[in-house]
C-alpha cells in the first residue's frame, strides 16, 4: 500500500452536467423541463418521481411545471430502495409512457433521487435492477434526469451510484456507472425549510462523516482532499452555528451535500461506514442515523471528530437513540461483526491491510454494545 497521500492511481470522474443554486431556483425547473421537451421533439412526456411526503404538501408540486400527460409518481421513502421496488416502479412508468420520457425529475432525498437514477438507467437498458448492481455494468446511457434535493447530506445528487438492497440476496450495492450521474441539479435551500430537525441533522452528518473518514484515510488524492476539506468546513459552519436551519445554513448544507458527493467519487470511507452498514443490515436502521450512532461509539478512532460531533449534537439540541444494540442475541452480534468486517476497502483505508488485528470480533462486539 502506498504511503504517499497523492499516489492513489488514476480515476476517471464524471461530473453532474450542471446546476442552479440559490433561493427560488426551483422556479427555473419548468424551463429546464421545457428545454428537454424541445430537444426530444416538443410533445414528449416528463416523469416526476417525488418523495411521498409531498402528497400532503402539494404547493411544491404546483411549481414543477407538470403538464397534462406527464407522469407523477410518489416514492415511499420509509424504506431505502430495493431491487424489486425499483423494478416495480420502472414497470409502472413503462406502462404510463409512450416511448422514452424527455426527462425524469427526482424530487426528494437520497431514496427518491437514487430511485430516479436507477429507473432512468432501466428504461434504456434491458433486464432488471439486480442485473446492474456492481461497477460499470450499465450498457447504454439512461434517460436524461434532473435532481431536486429536498434534504441535504447524502450526496446522491452528485454521485455515480444509486444504492439498492437486493431483495433476494440482501446485497446492498448500487449501479455504479457514469450513466448514473444526473444531468442537472436544482439546489434550492427553500426546499429544506420544513425538514424535521433531527432528520436534518442525521442526514447532513452523512456528508460530514464521509469526509472526515476520507481525510483520515491512507488512500488520498488532491481533488478528493479539496472537496472533503471544504465539505467538513461547511458542515462546521452549519452545525456549530446558532441555528443549523437558518436560510444561510440550509444553503451551505446543500452545497456541502453536493461537494461531499463529489468527494465520494474520488475517495474511500473509513471505520464509521462499515459499522453503520452493520446496523443497517442486521437491525434495519436507516443509513444516516446509523452513521451518527456509529460515530458516537467510535471516539477511539476519531477522537477530535467525535468531540466535534458531540459539540454539534449539543449545540443543535439533537438527541441520538441509545442502547440500540443492548441485549441482542449472540447470533445477532455475530451477524453485526460479519456485516462490518466484510467492508475490507474502507477498513484497509482507515487501519491498514491487517485491520482484523485491530478489529477483533471481541472489540467489534464491544463497540456495538456501547451504541
Binding of a copy of itself at residue 234 (CB under 8 A)? Answer: yes
Distance CA 256, CA 153 (A): 7
For position 11 contacting a copy of itself by CB under 8 A, the verdict is yes
CA 163/CA 151 separation, integer angstroms: 17
The secondary structure of residue 16, as a DSSP letter, is: P
DSSP state of 316: T
5 contacts a copy of itself (rule: CB under 8 A) = yes
Tell me which of 103, 133, 203, 252 binds a copy of itself, using CB under 8 A: 252
Among 33, 77, 120, 254, binds a copy of itself (CB under 8 A): 254
Asked if 251 touches a copy of itself (CB under 8 A), the answer is yes
CA 369 – CA 189 distance, rounded (Å): 38
Q: Is 303 in the site for a copy of itself (CB under 8 A)?
A: no
In angstroms, rounded to a whole number, what is the distance separating the alpha carbons of residues 121 and 129?
A: 9
| CB closer to a copy of itself, 233 vs 369 | 233
What lies within 8 Å, CB to CB, of 236 at 6+ separation is 308
Between 257 and 296, whose beta carbon lies closer to a copy of itself?
Answer: 257
Among 255, 292, 318, 341, binds a copy of itself (CB under 8 A): 255
| d(C-alpha 38, C-alpha 245), whole Å | 38
Return the residues of window 209-228 that contact a copy of itself according to CB under 8 A. 221-223, 226-227
Q: What 3-state DSSP class applies to 123?
A: coil
In degrees, rounded to 5, the angle at the alpha carbon of residue 295 between the alpha carbons of residues 294 and 297 is 70
Examine residue 1 and tell whether it contacts a copy of itself (CB under 8 A).
no
Figure out which of the listed residues 92, 94, 136, 178 binds a copy of itself, where binding follows CB under 8 A.
178
Name the nearest CA neighbour of 133 among 168, 162, 105. 162
In whole angstroms, the minimum distance from the beta carbon of 350 to a copy of itself comes to 21
Query: What's the grid cell of residue 51?
Result: 418523495
* Minimum gap (Å) between residue 96 Cβ and a copy of itself: 30
Grid cell 440482501 is found at 170
Q: Would you give the binding string for a copy of itself spanning residues 122-151, x where CB under 8 A is met?
A: ------------------------------
Task: Report if residue 39 touches a copy of itself, rule: CB under 8 A.
Answer: no
Cα distance between residue 1 and residue 219, in whole Å = 9
Interacting residues toward a copy of itself by CB under 8 A:
5-25, 27-28, 178, 187, 221-223, 226-227, 229-230, 233-234, 247-248, 251-252, 254-256, 258-259, 266
Amino acid at each position: 500500500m502506498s504511503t504517499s497521500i497523492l499516489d492513489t492511481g488514476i480515476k476517471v470522474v464524471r461530473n453532474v452536467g450542471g446546476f442552479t443554486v440559490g433561493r427560488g431556483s426551483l422556479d427555473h425547473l419548468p424551463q429546464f423541463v421545457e428545454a428537454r421537451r424541445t430537444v426530444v421533439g416538443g410533445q414528449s412526456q416528463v416523469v416526476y418521481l417525488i418523495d411521498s411526503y409531498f402528497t400532503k404538501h402539494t404547493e411544491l408540486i404546483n411549481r414543477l411545471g407538470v403538464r397534462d400527460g406527464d407522469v407523477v409518481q410518489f416514492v415511499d421513502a420509509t424504506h431505502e430502495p430495493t431491487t424489486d421496488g425499483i423494478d416495480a416502479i420502472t414497470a409502472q412508468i413503462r406502462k404510463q409512457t409512450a416511448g422514452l420520457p424527455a426527462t425524469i425529475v427526482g424530487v426528494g432525498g437520497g431514496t427518491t433521487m437514487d430511485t430516479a437514477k436507477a429507473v432512468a438507467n432501466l428504461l434504456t437498458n434491458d433486464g432488471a435492477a439486480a442485473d446492474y448492481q456492481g461497477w460499470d455494468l450499465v450498457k447504454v446511457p439512461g434517460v436524461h434526469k434532473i435532481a431536486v434535493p429536498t434534504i441535504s447530506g447524502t450526496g446522491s445528487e452528485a454521485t455515480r451510484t444509486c444504492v439498492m438492497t437486493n431483495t433476494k440476496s440482501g446485497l446492498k450495492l448500487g449501479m455504479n456507472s457514469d450513466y448514473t450521474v444526473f444531468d442537472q441539479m436544482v439546489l434550492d435551500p427553500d426546499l429544506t425549510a420544513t425538514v424535521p430537525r433531527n432528520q436534518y441533522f442525521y442526514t447532513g452528518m452523512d456528508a460530514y462523516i464521509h469526509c472526515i473518514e476520507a481525510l483520515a484515510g491512507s488512500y488520498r488524492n488532491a481533488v478528493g482532499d479539496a472537496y472533503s476539506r471544504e465539505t467538513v468546513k461547511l458542515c462546521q459552519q452549519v452545525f456549530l452555528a446558532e441555528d443549523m436551519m437558518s436560510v444561510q445554513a440550509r444553503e451551505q448544507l446543500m452545497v456541502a451535500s453536493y461537494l461531499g458527493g463529489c468527494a465520494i467519487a474520488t475517495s474511500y470511507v473509513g471505520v464509521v461506514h462499515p459499522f453503520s452498514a452493520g446496523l443497517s443490515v442486521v437491525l434495519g436502521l436507516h443509513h444516516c442515523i446509523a452513521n451518527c450512532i456509529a460515530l458516537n461509539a467510535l471516539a477511539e478512532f476519531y477522537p477530535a471528530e467525535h468531540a466535534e460531533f458531540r459539540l454539534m449534537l449539543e449545540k443543535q439540541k439533537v438527541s441520538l437513540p441509545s442502547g440500540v444494540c443492548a441485549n441482542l442475541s449472540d447470533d445477532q452480534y455475530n451477524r453485526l461483526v460479519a456485516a462490518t468486517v466484510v467492508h475490507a476497502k474502507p477498513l484497509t483505508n482507515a487501519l491498514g491491510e491487517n485491520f482484523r488485528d485491530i478489529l477483533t470480533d471481541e472489540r467489534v462486539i464491544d463497540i456495538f454494545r456501547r451504541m
